[in-house]
């Protein structure tokens, strides 16, 4: 039967089924059993990131939700070190190129614009 799990991925584990270095994976957060090892993560979150992660046993659902052309909005919240302004974040709307690879644009905003002046080195923001 179709399975869809909503998992809160903690910091300090990888979004992968196995790690050659022996680090914890999201599968270590699930109950024991081979049944759970068949699940595939929809997208990924980095090692030091926490948040909602979906896992499913349906490859077609995984693919559909991951493809940008299907228009599913992903929302992230990040802590920013260093000085950043809303104007600088707005410049990301058209995408950027790094080492000849172009990345699509994003919408980013400071959660609290006053944090820009008060905490320029420790502001929080959202990315879509």
Active site positions, annotated: 46
Radius of gyration of the chain (CA): 18
CA distance 20 to 18: 7
CA distance 89 to 56: 34
Residue whose C-alpha is closest to residue 81's, from 121, 124, 112, 119: 121
């Amino acid at each position: 039967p179709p399975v869809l799990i909503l998992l809160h991925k903690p910091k300090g584990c990888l979004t992968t089924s196995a790690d050659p270095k022996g680090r914890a994976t999201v599968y270590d957060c699930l109950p024991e059993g081979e049944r759970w090892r068949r699940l595939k993560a929809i997208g990924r979150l980095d090692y030091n990131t926490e948040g909602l992660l979906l896992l499913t046993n349906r490859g077609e659902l995984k693919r559909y939700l991951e493809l940008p052309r299907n228009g599913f909005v992903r929302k992230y919240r990040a802590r920013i070190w260093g000085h950043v302004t809303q104007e600088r974040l707005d410049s990301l709307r058209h995408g950027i190129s790094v080492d000849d690879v172009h990345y699509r644009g994003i919408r980013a905003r400071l959660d609290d614009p006053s944090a820009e002046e008060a905490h320029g080195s420790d502001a929080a923001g959202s990315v879509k």
